[in-house]
Amino acid sequence: MIVARELPVHPQASFFGAGPYPARRAAIAAAAVLAGFVLTAIWSAPFVDSVIGDSVANGLLGYDAKATPIGGVLAGTLFAFVSGLAGSFTACNIAAFGAVAPLVGGQAGEKRRFATTLKPLGWIAAGMLTVSVVYGVIVALVGTRMPQFSTAQTTRLSPRSVQSMIAFGVVGLVFLLLGLIALGLLRGPGFLRRHPAAPLVLMGALIGGFLIGRPYPLFRIMFRSAAEQHNVLYGAAAFALQSVGNIVVMAVLFLILTHATGGRVQRWLAAKPARIATVTGAALLVGGTFTLLYWDVRVLGRLGIIWFPMISW
């Protein structure tokens, strides 16, 4: 008797455009971009930053995170992790959830042990921590001469606003390119195909790059503490823990979808392998569109330089 063996769907191959692709991939891409645009228009920074972010940070720390000075290195490292966790749903971190789709898609078609599913998270962490640690060291060395401390205005834009636009603009563009590659609308670079872990490391590096332009108030408190201490170990640790806090919710969501659903999500994806490309590409395009529009277009609209639709709530 011949036993048919279900072959695993290789997550990185599908992720970087090896297919199979959905039949209406251009329409899917357009719908994802439209969803990113709508999300940009209705996004409420005060609600996410203050109502959610401040409440989480104050509850976990046990004091007013904005009003209480950071008292030393140990308090600073704790503050870094908690403020990173509290900022999970801020506009400067929301694109990180685009990584959930390729992570879950990577588990389709085969049964994985819990320890095995931690490996892709490890690759994301490797890329993320490389960027955040290096940036933390730079902040500790350069100190308050960093652009984030400048309030000079140039055509209504401060240096820190320009830095945010550049940093998140690059991140948004790369997420958009990855989404188009996932859907097969663009051909992925050859080296990314030859190195299966490269897509996850790249996404991790992008998530680490969020810190380069992040204006989140609680992050800026931690940023100032690291800059004023001039302690490279503290700077590296604080920025690393900030990034770890940023992906905790994303990682838990991935593990829940992988292990707490009885395999239903994986079976649904594996039933029609093109679904992996669809979900992955759409998630990355939504995240990329939102990041690019919010930080490079809506910011200009808020300053009155251009018009951009915004719903206040």
pLDDT in tens, 29-66: 999 999 999 999 999 988 898 889 999 999 999 999 99
Cα angle at 21 between 102 and 283, to 5 degrees?
35
pTM (predicted TM-score): 0.87
User: Angle CA(188)–CA(191)–CA(193) in degrees, nearest 5?
Assistant: 60
Going from N- to C-terminal start, the domains of the chain cover: 21-302
Per residue in 166-224, pLDDT (tens digit) is 999 999 999 999 999 999 898 878 777 778 788 889 999 999 999 998 888 899 999 99
The conformation of residue 94, written as its DSSP 8-state character, comes to G
Residue 118: what pLDDT? 86
In terms of C-beta density within 10 A (0-12 exposed, 13-18 middle, 19 or more buried), how is residue 307 classed?
Answer: exposed
Amino acid at 246: N
Residue 4: pLDDT band with limits 50, 70, 90: very low
The pLDDT assigned to 72 comes to: 87
Contacts of 216 (CB under 8 A, 6+ apart): 49, 53, 83, 87, 90, 92, 93
End-to-end C-alpha distance for the chain, whole angstroms: 64
- Is 26 a residue whose pLDDT tops 80? yes
Question: How far is it, in rounded angstroms, from Cα 64 to Cα 153?
Answer: 30
Neighbours of 297 (CB within 10 A): 16
| Cis, bond preceding 22 (omega within 30 deg of 0) | no
pLDDT of residue 153: 60
